């Protein structure tokens, strides 16, 4: 059952360490993978500093947040140390922070040490696929550094999450998880929080669609919902295509997500997501 202590007051404008994130209208988080084995663009962005070109593409397309990740979290991927992660992350992150001072930077990490180092170079947000379950010091670091935080649900860890997907009532499981973790976040004085149901992280294909259809159930916490379904298996497996062919399907399901209450779309393709949002906003006028 949802605890009264975890219902936050509605906040449509976030203060991300001095940068303003207005979610009165939906916004775009652009994905910038620095891993060599990402399911969609593995290895591309580190070659010849291509991450600079990709970042420019994402920003020009309408992304107001850049989410940078140096760890693969696809099914069966293994956890890596914060040292390995930071060795990959530090140079691109510092370069991008200098090039885009107005952009909100998010680091996709489950390691509190990485989160601390990212905060030290000016990152405004942490996107934690484990929702604080892998590293129990994460909430402390986020709170002490006044970082915005994406609280995501995962069942297990990436290495085993698809071996034993969520059992029982899916919505109840996620509501209980968010309720518990939000209490811990409050205890650590974390104020600016986004909720992510974790599409593809320990859920079956059918469960992903169940989550998408019931997205509004998670509005009970009065927190913005982040949806990350870009080019994922719930699209390409259902359509029997590759991730590289899943852009149209991504736009379709992002539209559904917006209709069901999403505030942030986490995407590989910001131009198309921006067009989706513009059409959605026009539709909502009537």
Candidate list 203, 266, 278, 282, residue with the active-site label: 266
Candidate list 54, 74, 203, 232, residue with the active-site label: 232
Which contiguous run of DSSP H or E holds residue 108? strand 104-108
- Mean pLDDT across the stretch 12-40? 87
Report the pLDDT value the prediction gives residue 71, as an integer from 0 to 100.
Answer: 87
* Backbone dihedral angles phi then psi of residue 128, each to the nearest 5 degrees: -105, 105
| Residue 180 designated active-site | no
- Alpha-carbon distance of 222 to 9, in angstroms, equals 6
- Alpha-carbon distance of 151 to 126, in angstroms, equals 9
Radius of gyration of the chain, Cα coordinates, nearest whole angstrom? 17
Burial class for 57, CB neighbours closer than 10 Å (0-12, 13-18, 19+):
middle
Residue keyed to tokens 């070109």: 53
CATH architecture of 4-284: Alpha-Beta Barrel (3.20)
**Maximum CA pair distance of the chain?**
52
The residue among 14 and 123 whose pLDDT is bigger is 123
| Residue 137 designated active-site | no
Give the N- to C-terminal CA distance of the chain in Å, as an integer. Answer: 36
Q: Hey, is 65 helix, strand or coil? A: strand
Report the pLDDT value the prediction gives residue 38, as an integer from 0 to 100.
Answer: 55
Query: pTM of this prediction?
Result: 0.93
Quickly state the pLDDT bin for 193 (edges 50, 70, 90).
very high
Residue range 114-151, pLDDT digits in tens: 999 999 999 999 999 999 999 999 999 999 999 999 99
Query: Domain limits of the chain?
Result: 4-284
Q: Are 244 and 250 within 8 A, CB to CB?
A: no
Q: Which two tokens mark 276?
A: 């989706």
């Amino acid at each position: 059952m949802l605890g009264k202590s975890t219902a936050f007051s509605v906040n449509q404008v976030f203060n991300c360490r001095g940068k303003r994130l207005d979610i009165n209208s939906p916004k775009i988080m652009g994905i910038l993978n620095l891993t060599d084995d990402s399911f969609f663009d593995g290895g591309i962005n580190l070659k010849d500093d291509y991450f600079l070109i990709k970042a420019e593409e994402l920003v020009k397309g309408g992304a107001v947040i850049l989410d940078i990740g140096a760890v693969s979290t696809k099914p069966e991927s293994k956890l890596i140390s914060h040292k390995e992660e930071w060795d990959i992350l530090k140079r691109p992150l510092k370069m991008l922070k200098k090039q885009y001072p107005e952009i909100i930077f998010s680091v996709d990490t489950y390691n509190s040490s990485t989160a601390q180092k990212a905060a030290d170079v000016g990152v405004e947000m942490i996107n934690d696929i484990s929702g604080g379950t892998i590293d129990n010091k994460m909430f402390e670091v986020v709170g002490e550094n006044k970082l915005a935080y994406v609280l995501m649900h995962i069942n297990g860890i990436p290495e085993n999450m698809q071996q034993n997907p969520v059992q029982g009532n899916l919505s109840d499981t996620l509501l209980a998880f968010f309720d518990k973790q939000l209490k811990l976040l409050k205890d650590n004085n974390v104020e600016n929080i986004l909720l992510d149901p974790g599409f593809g992280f320990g859920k079956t294909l059918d469960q992903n669609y169940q989550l998408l259809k019931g997205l509004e159930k998670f509005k009970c916490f009065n927190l913005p919902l982040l949806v990350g379904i870009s080019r994922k298996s719930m699209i390409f497996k259902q359509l029997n295509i590759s991730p590289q062919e899943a852009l149209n399907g991504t736009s379709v399901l992002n539209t559904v997500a917006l209709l069901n209450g999403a505030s942030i779309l986490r995407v590989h393709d910001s131009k198309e997501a921006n067009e989706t949002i513009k059409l959605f906003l026009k539709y909502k006028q009537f």
